[in-house]
Structure formats: structure tokens, C-alpha cells
Amino acid sequence: MNKLEAIIERARHIVFFGGAGVSTESGIPDFRSEKGLYAAREVYGHAPEYLVSHTAFAKEPELFFDYYKNNLVYENAEPNDAHKALAKLERDGKLSAVITQNVDGLHQAAGSRNVFELHGSVKRNTCTGCGAKYALSYILDSANCTRDDGTPGVVPKCAVCGSTVKPDVVLYEEPLDEDVIDGAVSAIARADVLIVGGTSLVVYPAAGFVNYFSGHDLILINKSETGMDARAGLVIHEPIGEVLSVFL
């Protein structure tokens, strides 16, 4: 911890790159975990990668939204110490950007302003027909959800044109947003310190972004080992909220 604090103290442009482990301490489980994989197959009969794929959204929307609403949306989740500490580091002029693989919007809720959401956000939703925008509360309201035959269901329909409303999240089989990629890569390339936290660095292409870092200090904070531990100048195998709480 002393080494971590010393690195942060002398840093000028810190970038944070985070994954699911950042939000598990807010009560949002990692759907790719062993427990998540088991639950998906037992309850839905599919791997989670299929359940949150473009194919499932297009061909089996009832299945998609049933899984999505029950496993990716946690409306009452609150930012934990990791989110709060990163927001404070930004306010203090230390942190330049947050790059996240999460879709929960908790970094912004904690006060972070320069956030690159690689996989989008559950907070934003767009009609596939007319492009109308909707808040999360709209797609969770059963009054706005029907089947194609008009009977009650779980698929949110646009109040303007009646088309399906799609969450602004990057599904499997869909590309990442080019503008978000460019911003994230640029931020990493300019950083003198890169903190990677709450991710095992196995989901590509996002995990490959670390390769754009050429600064002084690479810090890895994750409860388990990652394939890049050997590259880091500092590795901490502890819960990230517990580690970063020292900066609150």
C-alpha cells in the first residue's frame, strides 16, 4: 500500500481500466463467473454469451430481455469505495480517465466525468425503429412491454412507433464503438500510470488496450492472478474497493 500511495502521489496522468470486479462489491455479480454460467444454463438453457448476443436479441427477444433484466440490470446498486475513490482522484486532478467494461453506470453515479464505456450502458436505450431515446426505468416498466401480438410480455416497445427498444449495450457479435475505442486508446497512450482493476484481462478486444500503455507504472489490482501480472510493477491481489479506499 505504501508503494501504491507513492506512485499515485508522483503521478500526473493516471488512467483506470476496470472490469466486473469493480462492481461486484456493489452487489452486481459477474455473469461470466462459474456461478453465473451455471445459473444461465440451469434456468435458461444457454450460455450467457448467447443470452446477451445480437442473435438472441433479434431472434428470441423474450428470452433476451428476460435474461437481460434479471442478470445485467441492478437498478438499486450504489457506487462502492472503488468508484468513489476514482471519482475523488479525478476531482483532485490525478485521474485523467476511467475506461470500463461494465455497463452499470456506477462510475458516473460516483462522480466520475471522463468515462469511456467500452460495452455501453444499461442507463441508455434506443428505439430500433425511430431512434427515440429512453431511460432505464422505461424498459423496466411492464406497462411498456408487450409481445408482438400485443399481449403482456418483457420486450419494451417504443411509445412513438411501436418498435422494440434496444439497450445501448454492446452485445456479443456486435462491434465496439469506434469513437469510444479511440478515446480509450488515446487516454491510455498518454498516461504515466495505468491502474488495471477488477478484471482478469481475458475479454478481447478490450483486454488488449493495455498494450497501448508505455508509461512508468502499470498497477494490477485483482483478487486473482491475471496473465499480465508479470508485466506489472505492482500487483495487489485484494478486493479493489478495499485497496482504493485509502484514497477517500
**Is residue 138 located within the same domain as residue 242?**
no
CATH number of the CATH domain containing 136: 3.30.1600.10
**Is residue 95 located within the same domain as residue 112?**
yes
**Is residue 189 located within the same domain as residue 156?**
no
Nearest to 69 by CA among 53, 52, 56: 52
| Grid coordinates belonging to 143 | 406497462
Q: What does the pLDDT read at residue 35?
A: 63
**Is residue 100 located within the same domain as residue 150?**
no
3-13: average pLDDT: 96
**Is residue 34 located within the same domain as residue 79?**
no
Return the DSSP state at 103.
Answer: -
**Is residue 156 located within the same domain as residue 50?**
no
- Which listed residue (54, 119, 216, 237) is catalytic? 119
**Is residue 93 located within the same domain as residue 18?**
yes
Is 83 an active-site residue? Answer: no
Give whole-number Cα distances, 190 to 181, 185, 194, 214, in Å.
14, 9, 10, 8
**Is residue 22 located within the same domain as residue 33?**
no
Q: What does the pLDDT read at residue 200?
A: 84
Q: Is the pLDDT of residue 37 over 70?
A: no
Average pLDDT for the chain: 94
What are the tens digits of pLDDT across the range 147-192?
A: 988 899 999 999 999 999 999 999 999 999 999 999 999 999 999 9
Q: How many CB atoms lie within 10 A of CB 235?
A: 17
| Residue 144 structural domain | 121-169
**Is residue 93 located within the same domain as residue 213?**
yes
What lies within 8 Å, CB to CB, of 233 at 6+ separation is 7, 217, 218, 219
**Is residue 228 located within the same domain as residue 179?**
yes
Domain count, the chain: 3
Chosen domain end from 40, 73, 106:
73
**Is residue 245 located within the same domain as residue 195?**
yes
Nearest to 75 by CA among 34, 118, 123: 123
> How many percent of the chain have pLDDT more than 70?
97
pTM: 0.94
Q: How many CB atoms lie within 10 A of CB 133?
A: 11
103-123: average pLDDT: 97
Q: Which amino acid is at 208?
A: G
Per DSSP, the three-state class of 62 is helix
CATH number of the CATH domain containing 80: 3.40.50.1220
**Is residue 97 located within the same domain as residue 207?**
yes
Q: Is the pLDDT of residue 33 over 70?
A: no
